[in-house]
């Protein structure tokens, strides 16, 4: 089983060549590339339509090709990318432009050789008072609107479980419930008449929503094709290494084995590195990859012993 980690903040601060080299030396074989950094959250919500994803397909190819070449030079894969977010804004014209940017992020995934792009569901604040049906209609329009790009670039779109806050409480949001996630995926693939959509389970978001990650995995079954693995204190979205928070990891890993999970054990733990000076990043990353190898042992053991 391959062990992966997100590119941020390593690539941001060290550059792609030195970044890929460090990750390879620390025991990783593949990367979740943070293309979302090319179109930050603040730019989206404030209507700034600048950056590579608002340019032509040719320019997108030229921009991301050197990153793919750097990964190849260091023998590293890029198994998934994280698209810009949020993926929904209320202004219709701005949303149309954002859809074009998201389509170009799918093109970027193709250039990077990533078979999966993680695209957050559309959701508004709890206070908006939308019904589940209204949320579904928003997301149906979002994801089916990206179907032409997914087909063209041969990339699978992974939805992700979200959380929200209301009156001081953390709650599951869109796809936070595993049965809702199954409904979304099955309906989208049925409407698209193709398997264009799968799931990325975010363990930190599940923990904040007080969800059992092992149960979530088993309900998703083979719809689960990607992971965002990280830990927290149950109150804040901290993106920490496993065992720096409160999640119970062995049952989660054994559930992955039970369903025959074939994807990457991919860590989204950028705040651990942000906590330590760069002089200790190598040690931090080596510990993380060793944790991944332990998790892989549990996954493989469960897979071997599953009837």
**pLDDT tens, residue order, the chain (307 aa):** 999 999 999 999 999 999 999 999 999 999 999 999 999 999 999 988 989 999 999 999 999 999 999 999 999 999 999 999 999 998 999 999 999 999 999 999 999 999 999 999 997 654 567 788 989 999 999 999 999 999 999 999 999 999 887 777 787 889 999 999 999 999 999 999 999 999 999 999 999 999 999 999 999 999 999 999 999 999 999 999 999 999 999 999 999 999 999 999 999 999 999 999 999 999 999 999 999 999 999 999 999 887 6
Describe the strand order of the beta sheet including 265-267 as a list of residue ranges. 224-228, 197-202, 156-160, 116-118, 77-82, 30-33, 3-6, 265-267
| Domain of 96, in residue numbers | 3-305
Q: Which residues pair with 231 in a beta bridge?
A: 240
pLDDT at 230: 98
pLDDT at 164: 83
Rg over CA atoms, the chain: 18
CA dihedral angle for residue 252, residue 231, residue 2, residue 146, rounded to 10 degrees? 90
Class of residue 92 by CB neighbours under 10 A (exposed 0-12, middle 13-18, buried 19+): exposed
The answer to whether the beta carbons of residues 26 and 5 sit under 8 Å apart is: no
- Number of compact structural domains in the chain: 1
CATH number at residue 267: 3.20.20.150
pLDDT at 307: 67
Angle, in degrees to the nearest 10, between helices 57-73 and 16-25: 40
H-state helical runs in 74-210: 92-112, 132-145, 147-153, 178-192, 203-208
Q: Encoding tokens for residue 218? A: 């088993």
Class of residue 45 by CB neighbours under 10 A (exposed 0-12, middle 13-18, buried 19+): exposed
Give dist(CA 105, CA 86) in Å, integer: 13
- Cβ-defined contacts of 94-102 (< 8 Å, 24+): 94/47, 94/49, 97/49, 97/54, 98/44, 99/142, 99/145, 99/146, 100/53, 100/54, 101/39, 101/49, 101/51, 101/53, 101/54, 102/53, 102/146, 102/149
Give dist(CA 80, CA 114) in Å, integer: 5
pLDDT at 136: 94
Nearest of 237, 106, 226 to residue 170 by alpha carbon: 237
Nearest of 108, 46, 58, 54 to residue 78 by alpha carbon: 108
The answer to whether the beta carbons of residues 19 and 71 sit under 8 Å apart is: no
């Amino acid at each position: 089983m391959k062990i992966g980690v997100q590119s941020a903040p390593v690539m941001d601060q060290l550059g792609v060549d030195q970044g890929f080299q460090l990750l390879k030396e620390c025991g990783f074989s593949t990367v979740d590339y943070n293309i979302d950094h090319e179109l930050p959250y603040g730019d989206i919500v404030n209507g700034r339509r600048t950056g590579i994803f608002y340019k032509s397909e040719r320019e997108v190819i030229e921009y991301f090709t050197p990153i793919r070449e750097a990964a190849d030079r260091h023998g590293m894969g890029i198994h998934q990318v994280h698209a810009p977010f949020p993926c929904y804004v209320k202004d219709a014209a701005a949303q149309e432009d954002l859809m074009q940017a998201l389509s170009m992020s799918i093109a970027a995934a193709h250039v990077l050789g990533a078979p999966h792009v993680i695209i957050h569901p559309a959701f508004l604040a709890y206070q908006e008072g939308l019904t589940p049906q209204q949320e579904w209609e928003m997301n149906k329009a979002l994801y089916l609107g990206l179907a032409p790009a997914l087909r063209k670039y041969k990339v699978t779109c992974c939805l992700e479980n979200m959380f929200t806050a209301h009156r001081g409480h953390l709650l599951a949001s869109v796809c936070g419930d595993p049965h809702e996630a199954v409904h979304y995926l099955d309906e989208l693939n049925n409407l698209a008449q193709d398997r264009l959509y799968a799931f990325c389970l975010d363990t930190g978001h599940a923990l904040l929503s007080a969800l059992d990650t092992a149960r979530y995995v088993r309900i998703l079954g083979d719809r689960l094709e990607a992971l965002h693995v990280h830990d927290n204190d149950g109150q804040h979205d901290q993106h920490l290494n496993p065992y720096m928070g409160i999640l119970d990891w062995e049952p989660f890993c054994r559930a992955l084995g039970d369903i025959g999970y074939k994807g990457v054990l991919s860590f989204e733990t950028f705040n651990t590195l942000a906590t330590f000076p760069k002089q200790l990043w190598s040690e931090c990353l080596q510990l993380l990859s060793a944790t991944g190898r332990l998790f892989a042992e549990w996954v493989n053991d469960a897979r071997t012993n599953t009837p």
